[in-house]
């Protein structure tokens, strides 16, 4: 993932202003350490920090049309760019970059081309012919984007808060699936599929259609000219991603360039279930497996850096981002620049624990819709920013636009969790890949029950965090919390601790408003409480121990484990591939 920053209509075209924009753009260099570029047209500036994944040699940005009247800075991947190039046969392309089609599509179709893009993206496009601009964000919000307004009438657009929070009177997250046009000074939704209105679908479940759709989603994401790998926690989602990638890797351009054996990555506290499960799946699939251990103290030491990079104080997001942040640094050290991960499955299939209590298919479906719409504030934010902190790109096939449309058009009766009929969570996904002749995964892995984040990575991680904040947040501080933090008042010491750190880096009132409301609870939603009152008694936002569905299956590590990050690489390997999904919140 790259970093983009645009300053538009700032009433200042001086060299000092250009230097200031460059300085702000450098705050995003971690997202794109390979190259940087800037374009200035009067009082408009488009800057770019590049992570080179496709066409590393010539794909530098900003990108232009033939006569350079259309300029665009893009963060993302356009998976159907080759097909779009064929449609644009009367245009001349300057690079092999997948993003090079955007300026030319705008020439042909004006603002109405966005839905033609199959991929994930955030971009700003400047039309110098009339000094107008548009900005757009992908359907689900997999790529981060923020927009702000200055007192001088300027509009600021940035991949992260860091690029604009010092200079804008007000800023907010750019809504996913929307386009902003300077001509109307307003947002317009470009992504509006049938499921978005939460109407109940009725298409029967077809396992082969579902299987093909997900395989296609994974295969699209093999578009890369650099070493890559997969995140592997040993749970259903990451294991399916690894299985599909592994069986289709041989014979591809990537395999010829980097080798046909897939690399997989996992992280956790020593002895955690994710490490054990991932090791088993890696052995079954024959991947080159990399296993990393971190200690509780390692994680605690990284918390400030994590919050600075992920730009949120949401409790579950901070907890889950920390192991991923630590792992991403290790992965990048191997020369890997892209990984494929399992985010999104629990939202579209209803895989979270409280979905066991959904009273009917209507409420089940509507809750999956709401979860998908909120992903950009939670798992998408975490997966993107925790990896981009080290110049690593995470791709998420479960959130492929076409795949989501397939899944969300299925009659939700098929998704309902019915133990008495042998249907566990995400049953339709498991059944779709239950192939007797050419198994994707062994049965016991394919039907492995979901674990909560705190279970997978190790109870000691959450316990250690809580013990640490107890030493830094007093009862008196909590007593006064509502006066100090009037918006999103922290209800636990852990939430208070994260909020203090966040406010240190992002003190503006607009910054706190970019984080979702309530007591920093992403999983235990109001709907969960409505379905099962037991959730209202569960104060921990991870939902630990709720519903009695899961039992702890391993011993807890002592709090305050050794302050070293130990690294175990299973097999010596060249500078190549992968990242973990083990630390990835609830994606096992």
Domain boundaries for CATH 3.60.20.10 within the chain: 3-192
Class of the domain covering 200-569: alpha beta
Catalytic: 44?
Answer: no
Torsion over CA: 65, 66, 70, 72 (sign)? positive
Q: What residues in the chain have per-residue pLDDT under 70?
A: 251, 451-458, 518-526, 535-588
Query: CA angle at residue 473 from 468 to 479, to 5 degrees?
Result: 145
pLDDT in tens, 512-552: 999 997 543 444 456 777 887 776 666 566 655 444 555 43
Would you state the pLDDT for residue 537?
A: 66
Would you state the pLDDT for residue 533?
A: 73
CA separation (Å) from 61 to 73, 180, 224, 294?
6, 21, 17, 37
Q: What is the DSSP letter of 401?
A: H
Q: Does domain 3-192 correspond to CATH entry 1.10.600.10?
A: no
Taking the CA atoms of residue 546, residue 234, residue 382 and residue 73 in that order, the dihedral angle to the nearest 10 degrees is -150
Would you state the pLDDT for residue 11?
A: 85
pLDDT in tens, 263-308: 999 999 998 988 999 999 999 999 999 999 999 999 999 999 999 9
Catalytic residue from among 2, 10, 369, 380: 2
The DSSP H or E segment spanning 402 is helix 401-407
Taking the CA atoms of residue 196, residue 201, residue 205 and residue 208 in that order, the dihedral angle to the nearest 10 degrees is -40
Pairing of strands 228-231, 338-340: parallel
Would you state the pLDDT for residue 527?
A: 78
Would you state the pLDDT for residue 459?
A: 74
Domain boundaries for CATH 3.40.50.620 within the chain: 200-569
């Amino acid at each position: 993932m790259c970093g983009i920053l645009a300053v538009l209509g700032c009433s200042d075209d001086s060299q000092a202003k250009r230097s200031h924009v460059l300085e702000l753009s450098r705050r995003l260099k971690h997202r794109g350490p390979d190259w940087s570029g800037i374009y200035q047209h009067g009082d408009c500036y488009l800057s770019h920090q590049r992570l080179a994944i496709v066409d590393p040699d010539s794909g530098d940005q900003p990108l232009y049309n033939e006569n350079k009247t259309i300029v665009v800075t893009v963060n993302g991947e356009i998976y159907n760019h080759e097909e779009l190039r064929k449609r644009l046969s009367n245009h001349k392309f300057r690079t092999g970059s997948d993003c090079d089609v955007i300026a030319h599509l705008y020439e042909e179709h004006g603002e109405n081309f966005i839905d033609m893009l199959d991929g994930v993206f955030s971009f700003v496009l400047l039309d110098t012919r009339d000094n107008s601009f548009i900005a757009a964000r992908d359907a689900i919000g997999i790529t981060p984007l923020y927009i702000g307004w200055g007192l001088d009438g300027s509009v600021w657009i940035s991949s992260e808060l860091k690029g604009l929070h010092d200079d804008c009177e007000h800023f907010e997250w750019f809504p996913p699936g929307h386009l902003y046009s300077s001509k109307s000074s307003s947002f317009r939704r470009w992504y509006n599929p049938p499921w978005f209105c939460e109407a109940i679908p009725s298409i029967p479940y077809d396992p082969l259609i579902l299987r093909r759709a997900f395989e296609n989603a994974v295969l699209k994401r093999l578009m890369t000219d650099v070493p890559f790998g997969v995140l592997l926690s040993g749970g259903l989602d990451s294991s399916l991603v690894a299985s599909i990638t592994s069986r289709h890797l041989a014979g591809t351009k990537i395999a010829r360039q980097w080798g046909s054996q897939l690399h997989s990555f996992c992280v956790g506290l020593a002895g955690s279930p994710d490490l054990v499960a991932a090791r088993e799946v890696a052995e079954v699939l024959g991947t080159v497996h990399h296993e990393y251990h971190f200690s509780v103290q390692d994680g605690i030491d990284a918390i400030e850096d994590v919050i600075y990079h992920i730009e949120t104080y949401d409790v579950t997001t901070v907890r889950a981002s920390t192991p991923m942040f630590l792992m991403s640094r290790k992965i990048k050290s191997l020369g890997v620049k892209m990984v494929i991960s399992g985010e999104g499955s629990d939202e579209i299939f209803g895989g979270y624990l409280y979905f066991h209590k959904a009273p009917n298919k209507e409420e089940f479906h509507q809750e999956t819709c709401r979860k998908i719409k909120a992903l950009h504030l939670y798992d998408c934010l975490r997966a993107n920013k925790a990896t981009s902190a080290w110049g690593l790109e995470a791709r998420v096939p479960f959130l492929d636009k076409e795949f989501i449309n397939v899944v969300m058009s299925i009659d939700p009766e098929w998704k309902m969790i019915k133990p008495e009929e042998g249907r566990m969570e995400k049953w339709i996904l498991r059944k779709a890949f239950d192939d007797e002749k050419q198994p994707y995964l062994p049965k016991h892995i394919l039907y492995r029950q979901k674990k909560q984040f705190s279970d997978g990575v190790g109870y000691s991680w959450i316990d250690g965090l809580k013990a640490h904040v107890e030493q830094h947040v007093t009862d008196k501080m909590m007593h006064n919390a509502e006066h100090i933090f009037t918006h999103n008042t922290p209800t636990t010491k852990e939430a208070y601790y994260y909020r203090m750190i966040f406010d240190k880096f992002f003190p503006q009132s607009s910054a706190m408003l970019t984080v979702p409301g309530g007591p920093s609870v992403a999983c235990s939603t109001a709907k969960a409480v409505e379905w099962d009152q037991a959730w209202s008694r569960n104060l921990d936002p991870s939902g630990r121990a709720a519903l009695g569905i899961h039992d702890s299956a391993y011993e807890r590590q002592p709090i305050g484990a050794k302050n070293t990050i130990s690294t175990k690489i299973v097999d010596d390997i060249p500078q190549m591939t992968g990242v973990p999904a083990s630390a990835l919140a609830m994606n096992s």
